Structure 1
Amino acid sequence: MCPLQGGAKGTVPLVVGLCLAALLVGLLGFSSTLNPLDALLGRGAIVTVPDLSGRPQPGAEADVRSIGLVPEVRTSYSLSGARGTVIGQDPPPGSRVREGSKVEVVVSRGINRVEMPDAVGKPIAEVTAPLDDAGIEVEITRANSETAPKDVVISQDPGPGVLVTGEDVARFTVSDGPATRPVPDVSRLALEGASFELGKAGFAIGTITPADDANAVVGSVLRTDPPAGTVADRDTPVNLVQAAGPPPVSVPSVIGQSADAAASAMTQLGLVPNVIRRGSGAGGVTTQNPAAATVVRPGAIVTLEVGAGG
């Protein structure tokens, strides 16, 4: 305490100065940084981060704590650092930090040697899990395959049983399934030929629907659904429209007509007359089969019986 009372008036500044100096000395005594502001704000001293490389974990933690820092430990695989020793730190050695700061200490888990799985033919998720757990880098390339289902391994490098470490890369080629392909043009082909071409291209045969067409060969393919040139997945069903020949016709009534007139009427409609003459073969048509108004396709046979002439 600085006494100010009872003194001469001129001594007040001197006494105040001595009091401030005493207070400053007191603050410096409480500050390890010799900075009074640090003491007022409760800030720690500036210290140098030690080199922890190669130190066993317990010793490294003790070294960090001994200078007022806080160690935070994490582990990692290493090809060179012995298990349980320090292989890295942050901040690096020689850094200047305040007391109470954190120092990350990376401790070796040892060498991560893992045996490559026999992966071909298996789902990629199944074979990479052990490699991921061991910290092995995995590189995946995708490719279309006509034989391997999607997401199944087609090839691998290194091969099964090879030991890999954290410095290696495990490479897998994985199926993306069959590639898409265009529907071939099978119009004008017979059904058998169209089926062969579609199967060869990787498509399945869907429904077969007949359609009238006077200009197409009976039995030939008129069109497909999806249409020719459409890009689709393998095994997509392709529906076929097949020519059934000219449209059906109604058989006319020719009862009572002469054989020649009845035969001509049938021929004009694309029907085939089969004339059967009874007796002398003269006279008109007495019966016809199929009967009048029966719907048949051109090329059908119509039997006509002609009675005896009078």
Structure 2
Amino acid sequence: MDTTVADTLIGTTIDGRYRITGRVARGGMATVYTATDERLERTVALKIIHPSQATNAHFVDRFTDEAKTIARLTHPNVVAVYDQGRHQGLPYLVMEYVQGRTLRDLLTQRRRLSPVEALAILEQMLAAIAAAHRAGLVHRDVKPENVLVAEAPSGGVANLVDAVVKVADFGLARAVEASSADESGQLMATVAYVAPELVTDGHADARTDVYSAGIVLFEMLTGRVPFDGDDPVAVAWEHVDNDVPAPSSLVKGLPKALDDLTARATRRDPGARPTDAGALLAEVQTVRDDLGAANVETALLRQVPPPARGAMVDATTVVPAVGAGDRPSWARLPNQAAPRGQEYTAGRIPRSAKRGAGGTDRRRILLSAAVAVMVLVVIGSTWWVTLGRYTDAPSLINQTKAQVELSAQQQGFELFYGDGAYSETIPKDTVVSQDPAPDGKVVKGGVITVNLSLGPERFAVPDLAGLELAAARGELEQINLKLKEGEGQYSDTVPEGAVLSSNPETGTQLKRGATVTVTLSKGRAPIRVPDLNGKNINDARRELAELGLAAVERYKDSDQPKDSVIGQTPKAGTGANKDDQVTLDVSKGPPLVTVPDLTNQPCQQAKATLEGMGLRVRVDFNPNAFVRSQQPGGNTQVEPQTEVAIQCF
């Protein structure tokens, strides 16, 4: 199916200069197109970052910085970067267009390569990576997908020895790594090629690229990677726990030199590897030269017949081997010699053959003794290197920190503490893993690395209130938690689309991968609650009913008039839905006053008493006499401001 049909960028002109003509590939972070640079009239490759990455400002800044660094790399084996910019907010790179295929495509087609082809490709790979290392740049994602094999002048990519190899995507893995905490903890290098130190502590340097290049060599020679499986995490830890096997264990007949080269490049201890790609390149060139010389010697022994008795032959026949001098200058080590010849000499009689038999016997005895001594030295050295200096590593699993330190003191080995690991079952500060593993081989008095339990891994739910949905999701993903959107609610204070609340609530400790449900605001509810304070309860009921709201009444003592509204919940102006309840506080009226019995009291004194109680007084007859009767009578309860009539005479 033609995937370009649905791609809206095909035919688009970027930045008024780069007209996109086709799509080459789509990866996890970017899509690569072919484009025509209409200003310089040349074909280029244009890599546009996916929108999901472009929203991360930190990634974009880091990507731009790395692009500038790569652009300064000038090397025939590095895919050149010509330009960078943005199209509709998406960062893009303009790069050299390499006419050819990736090393992955070649391995898919041919499965594996010959040793000569593999070393020829590896040399150019390492030349490119070495240039980056000298510039202080680590690739971090060396793999066949990032190695381009250009068509060779001698006839396409089929002739791999003459093909030009270019390495792409320098620095892009670093930009992505810096923009995420473990893209959920996820490794930034492909797990089939990841170095052990990148798995255990996330550290990468030039030796990390050396390890990945060694894995690529293994795959070119054998047709497979050393560790594979369905679980990426398990595959990554295979690199930490196991040595890379010898290529000859899978493909019979491969030279031991290739096994040794692969082993040196893929040692689990970074300090035991070549220091950078340049150091590994020197070893590769030496192995390639030696293999070329060995092939020439074998061919001479098979093809040059012995001279006929009495025939005249040249004293020396020189056959050149494919060596360092045949390489271009950028792939040759400083001061490396020109091509060396392999000499086959015939027709000369050694002087020693003219000596007597006694001299020959003496030489044979001395030679035998020397060989015997050498054999003993080799056997002893081999035993010491492979077995004698090693002992079995003790089992430290499930021991406390104090216990392993005591064991180290008693058994004479050194301890190195790793970064530790979280565990749901093993208590904190107890050993969860060790390297070498129990009963594994360790140099006497050597170092055993232990990782202590950090206890259960937990992440506190952050305060998400008021955040937009995307921001809340990002906050949770950074701490390895998942977001679930719950049912929304109306809010008068939180804008629509922002987080109202979370469940579990802020501060709750959760396991990795746990889900936090957030409630989003739907904005203000559609009905506005009216102001009912001071209105008669009957009028308030009617007004709420007309709006589709229900009244709930609570009667309270108050000095306000009876049956008047003295409070409401929710407040006036609050949003509400149809059939929502509005609680109304209704006045019972002022408290009742108990009228005292004023009989036989002076009239003026009685009047003052009643007025002091908030009652109105009417005096009948003689105001200077004594109270003989009253209405209402004594001990009667009346409302404030009720009139009390007193009769005085």
Normalising by structure 1, we get a TM-score of: 0.36
Whichever structure has more helix as a proportion of its residues is 2
**RCO (CA 8 Å, sep 6+): is it higher in 1 or 2?**
1
Name the structure where strand makes up a greater proportion of residues.
Answer: 1
Rg bigger for which structure? Answer: 1
